[in-house]
Structure 1
Amino acid sequence: MKNAIAKSDFVLNLYMKSNNFTATWQILNTVIPYILLWFVAFKAAAISVWLLPPIIVLMTLFSGRCFSLMHDCGHYSLFSAKKVNRLVGFMLGIINAIPQYPWSRGHAYHHKHNGNWDMYRGPSALISTEEFAALNPSSQKIYQLLRHPLMLFPGGFFYLIIKPRLTLLLGIYDFSRHIFACLKQNHGMSLSAIIASYKSKHWYTKAEFWDLLFNNICVVASWVYLSNLLGVGFFWSVYSIVMTCSAAIFICIFFVQHNFEGSYAHKTEGWDYLLGAIEGSSYLKLPSILNWFSADIGCHNIHHLSERIPNYNLRACHRANIHLLANSKTLTLRDIPKCFKFIVWDAESDSLQSIESFHQKAETQLINVAS
């Protein structure tokens, strides 16, 4: 059934205008405190390690806000100029230890196919009920374990600290093998021809590769510099905790904004972009202080209606269109744990299911067959 509401019914264009002054102020009130907190943490550690926990909590929240602003740059919405968004996004990518441009292109794919579960299975790479049923019992348990909420922490560490470095190394390794294979087949093949013939599974364009390369150079260089400046033990202890917790938080937020009971999870056939935005993205109602640190990404339904709306206009846009969002799911902090139950996609019913409901359905089908 097609959605009775059209995108033209929403007031969006009014809120799509970027404000460079507001954007600059957001960068300053986020990056400067984050840097200062590192200095405060270093001085506090010299007095007592017990002074560190509240400082680390603040550092984690500011790190998460850096990621949210980087996310806006990826949509070219934070600043009015595309080049400024790319430059600031790259710098925030260094702070977040993740190459911003390749990340933003992958994120754009998510926006393009949100709610189409044939095309995009979410950040946890969820599988269908048919695929889950085909797994042996041990593989099913491993699948469930890897999607347990506590896995957000090792997953967050891997996502920011290890994955971007591993991606570059694997890509360079594959490219080296490609060079030798080309030269073995054709000794006179030029370097430009070898490069042109290489299709990497680790990046899709030259721009992605260069962003990945320069990000890694800057990130690793900053690690070396700060380790020498602050001490290896102090830097990596604090840095690992901050980055791990920060990544865990924003992966968690992203997950629950798309994986919840009743979420729009359709097949390609009959998929509707507008329904994917309204019913496949939740409104995460957070305390005001967390709205600030997350740059209002809780208004995720509006964000999916138009990714060009900068974070500082999202809440006003949400209020202006609230009468059209009756079918959007509203979640609170209390609802977050329940969302992690929905880790399989049932293509037959176009819905997300828990493992418990999957087993109940399978048992019912067996009973019906037997009778």
Structure 2
Amino acid sequence: MTHGPATAPVLSSPLPPAQTPPAKPSAHATGITRADFELKPFMTPSNWIASWQILNTLVPLGLLWWVAVWSLQQAPLLLLPVIALMVLLLARCFSLMHDCGHNALFRSRRVNRAVGFLLGIVCGIPQLPWSRGHAFHHRHNGNWERYQGPSALITTEAYGALSPSQQRWYGRIRQPLMLFPGGFFYLVIKPRVALLLGLLDVARQGSTRHWHSPEECRDLALNNLAVVGLWVGMGWWIGAGPFWLIYSPVMACAAAIFICIFFVQHNFPGSYAHASEGWSEMAGCLEGTSDLDLPALFNWFSADIGCHAIHHLSSAIPNYRLRACQQRNQHLLNGVRRLRLGDIPICFDYILWDPAAKRLATVPAPAR
């Protein structure tokens, strides 16, 4: 889409002044550096803890598949809570896969790679290309000129250049309800399409943007082979209809959860949003991430990814050491925005980047 020049619109805040989050100390102003944090003692993975996390996630998920099939035939009213538990466990699978991508779950890089690949099959997504793309996010967080977030945000100027219908469409596809069809596409459809389009590109022009190395191509191909094979096998076992009746909502809702968490941990009122020139890595970690306060049960299902500033300061810290590390360094985290569940809807209003103001912004109110 080509955007012509336009004047950036005047933006409105969704929060009345009384609810505007208070200003917090800036990483620039305080002079905090990574060396000030006590991180190294928390970076050592435990193979025992990691193995237990894999077992207490995959075994219940497998058993719930059996219960879901049984309840579909014998006790349909039980199906909804069973699917809800499956959704939460699949979201946990994704968080553990994320740790494997950072080589943080197990001590061995090879074991992280193998377990990450297995979890990628369960989650329906090729782990190696995903983890490398995620590493790019870590290297450039807060630099919105290099990384536009999971929703591919545009600038206020580009938004002003859109037609009214394009502006409405831009806003609609970034609303929270779109997380569900978007999540289904992200896990179930996109990896299959990426392989097909990549193979067509290679056949026509010898290269593709869908992978960046032969290793990523192999991972994408093997993931697709395993996932589609799993679909066929499950369809043969319980029937294609019952399988997709269970599988579709589980994948869509689980993806919606972790995309939502990722979104609000970087799109929120006051989030650090700089251009490449003058960008600060520390400001990206401390002001461009939020810590998400969740109930203890949800912390378990999300593998403590709510301790997000510490995770950005060192992605080598395993999920099972994040909270202890956060508590040890709490006195240095005053500049980190803390969000609660009730704050999540507000974050979805921040879908534009204002380069001049160096902040994320809401869409302008319609002219009257």
TM-score with structure 1 setting the length: 0.90
Report matched runs for 1:265-284 at 5 Å.
Answer: 265-284=273-292
2:201–2:207 Cα contact (<8 Å) kept: no
Q: CA–CA distance in 2 between the matches of 1:333 and 1:296?
A: 15
| Structure 2 letter corresponding to 1:171 | G
Give the deviation of 1:356 after TM superposition: 3.2
Partner residue in 2 for 1:214: 222
| Structure 1 letter corresponding to 2:87 | T
Partner residue in 1 for 2:51: 24
Partner residue in 2 for 1:165: 192
Give the deviation of 1:269 after TM superposition: 1.0
Secondary structure (helix, strand or coil) at the match of 1:356 reads coil
Matched, 1:138 2:146: no
Partner residue in 2 for 1:128: 155
| Structure 2 letter corresponding to 1:156 | G
Report matched runs for 1:1-371 at 5 Å.
Answer: 1=28, 4-178=31-205, 198-356=206-364
Q: CA–CA distance in 1 between the matches of 2:329 and 2:272?
A: 20
Q: CA–CA distance in 2 between the matches of 1:177 and 1:344?
A: 36
| Structure 2 letter corresponding to 1:139 | Q
| Structure 1 letter corresponding to 2:77 | W
| Structure 1 letter corresponding to 2:259 | I
Please, which runs of 5 or more residues in structure 2 have no aligned partner? Answer: 1-27
Q: CA–CA distance in 1 between the matches of 2:264 and 2:110?
A: 32
Q: CA–CA distance in 1 between the matches of 2:33 and 2:195?
A: 43
1:2–1:272 Cα contact (<8 Å) kept: no
Give the deviation of 1:3 after TM superposition: 5.2
Q: CA–CA distance in 2 between the matches of 1:176 and 1:207?
A: 18
1:3–1:275 Cα contact (<8 Å) kept: no
Q: CA–CA distance in 2 between the matches of 1:280 and 1:268?
A: 14
Give the deviation of 1:166 after TM superposition: 0.1
Give the deviation of 1:277 after TM superposition: 0.5
Q: CA–CA distance in 1 between the matches of 2:68 and 2:245?
A: 11
Secondary structure (helix, strand or coil) at the match of 2:336 reads coil
Partner residue in 1 for 2:16: none
Cα distance change on mapping 1:2 and 1:201 into 2, 3 Å: farther
Q: CA–CA distance in 2 between the matches of 1:87 and 1:275?
A: 34
Cα distance change on mapping 1:256 and 1:47 into 2, 3 Å: same
| Structure 2 letter corresponding to 1:243 | M
Give the deviation of 1:95 after TM superposition: 0.1
1:283–1:301 Cα contact (<8 Å) kept: yes
Partner residue in 1 for 2:15: none
Q: CA–CA distance in 2 between the matches of 1:199 and 1:173?
A: 9
| Structure 2 letter corresponding to 1:240 | S
After TM superposition, the runs of 4+ consecutive aligned structure 1 residues lying more than 4 A away are none
1:76–1:85 Cα contact (<8 Å) kept: yes
TM-score with structure 2 setting the length: 0.91
Counting matched residue pairs gives 341
Q: CA–CA distance in 2 between the matches of 1:23 and 1:262?
A: 35
2:179–2:260 Cα contact (<8 Å) kept: yes
Q: CA–CA distance in 1 between the matches of 2:252 and 2:226?
A: 19
Q: CA–CA distance in 2 between the matches of 1:291 and 1:110?
A: 23
| Structure 2 letter corresponding to 1:317 | C
* Deviation string, structure 1 residues 116-136 (Cα, Å, up to 9, x no partner): 001001000000101101111
Q: CA–CA distance in 2 between the matches of 1:5 and 1:304?
A: 15
* Deviation string, structure 1 residues 191-240 (Cα, Å, up to 9, x no partner): xxxxxxx3311100111000000000000000000011011111101100
Q: CA–CA distance in 1 between the matches of 2:44 and 2:157?
A: 45
| Structure 1 letter corresponding to 2:86 | M
Give the deviation of 1:294 after TM superposition: 0.1
Q: CA–CA distance in 2 between the matches of 1:74 and 1:127?
A: 28
Give the deviation of 1:48 after TM superposition: 2.5
Secondary structure (helix, strand or coil) at the match of 2:227 reads helix
* Deviation string, structure 1 residues 320-362 (Cα, Å, up to 9, x no partner): 01000001000000000000000000000100011137x79xx
Secondary structure (helix, strand or coil) at the match of 2:244 reads helix
User: Of Structure 1 and Structure 2, which has the larger fraction of its residues in helix?
Assistant: 1
Which range moved further: 40-49 or 160-169? 40-49
Q: Over aligned residues, Cα RMSD in angstroms? A: 1.2
